[in-house]
């Protein structure tokens, strides 16, 4: 039961990647720049990692071929891992 709910959430996030990943890229980059100006290295690293998650997610979304195909790729990867 909990497993199915979790997988539905992952499919939802994969299907709607541009709506959450692009703001992560923009906000992570902007805050990394602001923290870089203030010489806060740990905060810069954290913000850049958050932006990198957005970049990698968007890259996967484009590579997979869009909303429906990204879910199919995730299902196929999950099935191959089991």
Per-residue pLDDT, averaged over 31-47, amounts to 97
pLDDT at 18 over 90: yes
pTM of the model: 0.86
Per-residue pLDDT, averaged over 25-48, amounts to 97
pLDDT at 35 over 90: yes
Output the pLDDT for position 50. 97
Output the pLDDT for position 65. 94
Cα–Cα distances in Å, from 76 out to 31, 39, 69, 72? 36, 44, 10, 6
């Amino acid at each position: 039961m909990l497993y199915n709910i979790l997988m539905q959430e992952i499919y939802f996030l994969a299907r709607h990647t541009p709506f959450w990943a692009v703001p992560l890229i923009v906000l992570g980059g902007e805050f990394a720049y602001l923290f870089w100006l203030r010489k806060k290295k740990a905060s810069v690293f954290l913000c850049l990692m958050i932006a990198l998650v957005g970049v990698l997610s968007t890259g996967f979304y484009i590579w997979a071929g869009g909303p429906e195909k990204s879910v199919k790729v995730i299902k196929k990867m999950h099935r191959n891992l089991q």
